[in-house]
Amino acid sequence: MNDILYRIGRRIVQIRTERGISQQDLAARCNFEKSNMSRIEYGRTNMTLVTLLTISRALGVKLRDLVDVE
């Protein structure tokens, strides 16, 4: 399970970086603490579907773009 969380987190980082968005800015767009965003990006927390949807909207991508990591 931790592997999939890590891969989703890395996908978030990849998309965020491609769009030139800092971790702090993405956290603010999602109304999250930066420390929470860091845990998400490193796969150290189990995200809810609502959390993933919030991140996908903040990044301007479809939810499937975040979770299609297999």
53's CB contacts (< 8 A; 6+ apart) are 63
Considering Cα of 46, then 49, then 55, then 61, what sign does the dihedral take? positive
pLDDT at position 1: 67
63, 15 Cβ separation under 8 angstroms: no
pLDDT tens-place string over residues 7-38: 999 999 999 999 999 999 999 999 999 999 99
Please report the domains of the chain, with CATH numbers, ordered by start residue: 2-67 (1.10.260.40)
* 3-class secondary structure, 45: coil
pLDDT given for residue 68 in this prediction: 87
The Cα–Cα gap between 5 and 1 comes to 7
